Every structure is written in structure tokens, then in C-alpha cells.
Amino acid sequence: MPRKLFRRLLPDPHKITQYKALQWLGPAINDPNLFHINRNSVSESFFIGIFCAFLPLPGQTFIAGLLALWFRTNLPLAVALIWISNPVTIPPMFYLTYLLGTWVLGEPGASHVAVELSWDWMMAQGAAIWAPLLVGSLITGLVGGACAYFLILGLWRWKVIKNWEYRKQIRKRKLALNNLPK
């Protein structure tokens, strides 16, 4: 069952609730729904995690954690899925979301912009890049999150049906063995 896989991969809820860094959340961190592993909780966490991974904002992990608290879905899974956007994947992700944003907004894309890692460059070019990047990121996050949500629901259902069929075959074999002439 998928539940066993997620239980094996995710940290122990008791250990998470004992982190001193999370004590500011008070009794909210002790909500058992934040650690349930079921079809709905996991699929909602995938939506939140993937949506937040596409946000071009600092603090994606914090945002995913707050959304998981708000919607009372699996907190560790939503926070872990943020790492889809990591230092290796961020440049292509944000470039493609920027292109999508320019296409949706009907703006000409900035071609061959020399990127500088300076505050002055960010202030000068950030205004031109920000709107298409944000629009493209929101669209991609919503579509990617929705795809992940429905994919997890479908995979979970498929696995449950497969397990039912397996148990049904086992019962038939046992019944056939019991009905053999002695």
C-alpha cells in the first residue's frame, strides 16, 4: 500500500513536534492531521509542495508549511516537495515560467539580457522580468500541482485496487485448496 512507502520515507511525527524551532506554532503543530498519510492528505501535500516549488519567492518552505497548516494536510511531505526547485533546477524552471508569462501577457521577452548578480541590475531589470515570471510561475505551479494531485489520487487508487485483486486471488487459492478431495 502507498501508505507504507510514505511512512518509511517521512520522518517520525513525534520527533517533528519536539523540534524547538517549531514550538512557536503552539498547539497547531500537534494536530494529527498534519501527519496523516492517506490518499487525500498525500495528494493535497503534493499539490501544495509543487505549487510552492514554482513560486519565485524566497521562503518557499515557509509558505508550504503555512499552507499545509492552513489546509491541515501532511506537513513534512509538503515541505519536502519544495526541493523540486533546487539550485540545479531553478534556472531552467524559472526561465521556462518566464517564457510562459511573456506569452500569456503578450509581452516581448527580454532577449540576450546580460545577467549580473548585483542589486543595481536586479532593481533595473527586475521590474521588467517580475510580472511575466510571477504569472508564468503561478500558472505552472497551479497546473503542475493539479497534475500531481490527480496523479497521486489515481496511483493510490490503482495500488489499492491491485492489492484487492491480489488478496482476492489469495482467497480463491485458499478456498480451492480447502475444497480438494482428501
pLDDT at residue 22, rounded to an integer: 60
pTM: 0.78
Number of domains in the chain: 1
pLDDT at residue 119, rounded to an integer: 75
Q: Where are the alpha helices (DSSP H) in the chain?
A: 2-9, 13-17, 39-53, 60-71, 75-80, 90-105, 119-178
pLDDT tens digits, one per residue of 104-153? 998 886 665 666 667 777 777 777 788 899 999 999 999 999 999 999 99
Residue ranges of the chain with per-residue pLDDT less than 50: 1
pLDDT at residue 73, rounded to an integer: 92
Structural domain boundaries enclosing 29: 2-178
pLDDT at residue 25, rounded to an integer: 64
Exposure class string for 81-96: b at 16+ Cβ within 10 A, else e = bbebbeeeeeeebbee
| HEC profile of 118-160 | CHHHHHHHHHHHHHHHHHHHHHHHHHHHHHHHHHHHHHHHHHH
**Which percentage of the chain shows pLDDT scores above 70?**
77
pLDDT at residue 34, rounded to an integer: 76
